[in-house]
Amino acid sequence: MIRAAILGASGYAGNELIRLGLRHGGIEFVALNSENHAGEPVSNVVPEAPRELRFTNRPVGELNADRCDVVFCAMPAGFALETAPRLTSRVIDLSADFRADENVPYGLPELFRAALPRARIVANPGCYATAAILSAWPLVRHELAGSLIFDGKSGYSGAGRAPAYVNDPVHFTDNTIAYKLTQHRHRAEIGRVLRHAVGFTPHVIPTFRGILMTTHCLLRTVHLHDRPDTSPEKCGQQIRSLFHEVYDREPFLRFVEDRPPELHDVQGTNLCALGGFEVDETGRAVVIATLDNLVKGAAGQAIQNMNVMFGEAEGRGLTDLTPFPAGRRGP
């Protein structure tokens, strides 16, 4: 059994870590820390949890004394930067604290799997960044990407539990809210990982969970006006084949062939669904990626990283997740 603790266990990502950890079968929770809910039953917010399981608020010294194997840090920015060096366990940080640190592996297994088994700290990627990077990596890898523009739509859970304009039902109900039009922190993260200049604008939509990323890529080597023998349809087929070549063996990437991917394809799962793969007459390729921001965009990816770090089957506790029905998609 992997002895694990969660710091920030009562937040949305923390709740998902508990849900997924309980079904994993190889995790023993040593602590489920919550400053505001210590002593309360976890089942109040995670119905699957046994009634006797309660939130804790254990200090770092106790976690070290109990020989935790891994600590999941689901706290606001700045907390892990101060806390991780004091922990004797391995750390998977779900905040942005270590994502720009070249000495800390970036926890996107599809690109950086080989670095994870030796890591003491892993920087779990941002939710928008996960969708954007996976939707563009094959184009960047094969030097096809010119201008890259990402248009992201997220459920309001991405803003967390703390009250904010974008997670207030008064504002997001029957509405779509654009915010941080050019300077969202995930823009720098995406560009840093892809090593490519990018544009990114996020939006909040009136649903609880899920991200839909529309990627617009002006292809570098396709000039349709100069090559009348190359149709947009043929270029789209070539792009689709390229993505299959790169990703067909990845356990959590799924291709939607008959339509663009939707949130309903992925909500409640650790999947990233990919589709679209259309090219217009200007050489602009459009790729769609969808994922659950709380699972593949946060807790599920953290469990996936943990599995790789500790030599477990990468999909343990994750491969048999099926999309939530309508009644399970809310908070």
Would you call 127 a catalytic residue per the annotation? yes
User: What pairing do the DSSP bridges indicate for beta strands 2-7 and 27-33?
Assistant: parallel
Q: Please answer whether residues 109 and 72 qualify as being in contact, where contact means their C-beta atoms are separated by less than 8 angstroms.
A: no
Report the distance separating Cα 63 and Cα 217, nearest Å.
46
Identify which of 52, 99, 105 has the alpha carbon closest to the alpha carbon of residue 77: 99
Considering the candidates 73, 127, 217, 235, report the single residue annotated as catalytic. Answer: 127
Q: Please answer whether residues 23 and 321 qualify as being in contact, where contact means their C-beta atoms are separated by less than 8 angstroms.
A: no
Q: Kind and range of the H or E element at 191? A: helix 185-194
User: How are strands ordered across the β-sheet holding 2-7?
Assistant: 27-33, 2-7, 70-73, 90-93, 121-123
Report the distance separating Cα 135 and Cα 202, nearest Å.
15
SS3 for 39-70 is CCEHHHCCCCCCCCCECECCCHHHHHHCCCCE
One-letter amino acid of 285: A
Q: Kind and range of the H or E element at 176? A: none
What radius of gyration do the chain's Cα atoms show?
20
| Positions marked active-site | 127
